[in-house]
Amino acid sequence: DTGVSQDPRHKITKRGQNVTFRCDPISEHNRLYWYRQTLGQGPEFLTYFQNEAQLEKSRLLSDRFSAERPKGSFSTLEIQRTEQGDSAMYLCASSLGSGALGNEQFFGPGTRLTVL
């Protein structure tokens, strides 16, 4: 078990371009979460999957954002028509979803997005 991985670690893009990030959770974890963290702030929840079903979405997740988890394993987060305000660290986390440790979320290293 190598933990939660995210790719890429850094992404620089021009305003108006689309970007896609990938998250690979811990293999047996059925819950997957996306958060966004800006400088000097705590992470803010974006969305959550249980297996392949997207069960919860924050109001922060505008219609330019879309997330998928097609086979209940890895997930992608796409941002269309990026804006400078999208610049942030995008964090992925996973959890087991059951038992005493079900609520414990394990975080990946994040993808830092810079929109020029």
Residues of this chain that bind other proteins (CB under 8 A): 4, 31, 33, 35, 40-45, 48, 56, 58, 91, 93, 95, 103-110
Nearest-Å Rg of the Cα atoms of the chain is: 14
Which residue, 57 or 80, has its beta carbon nearer to other proteins?
A: 57
Residue 32, φ and ψ in degrees, nearest 5: -135, 140
Which residue, 19 or 90, has its beta carbon nearer to other proteins?
A: 90
**SS3 at position 94:** strand
Shortest Cβ distance from residue 107 to other proteins (Å)?
Answer: 4
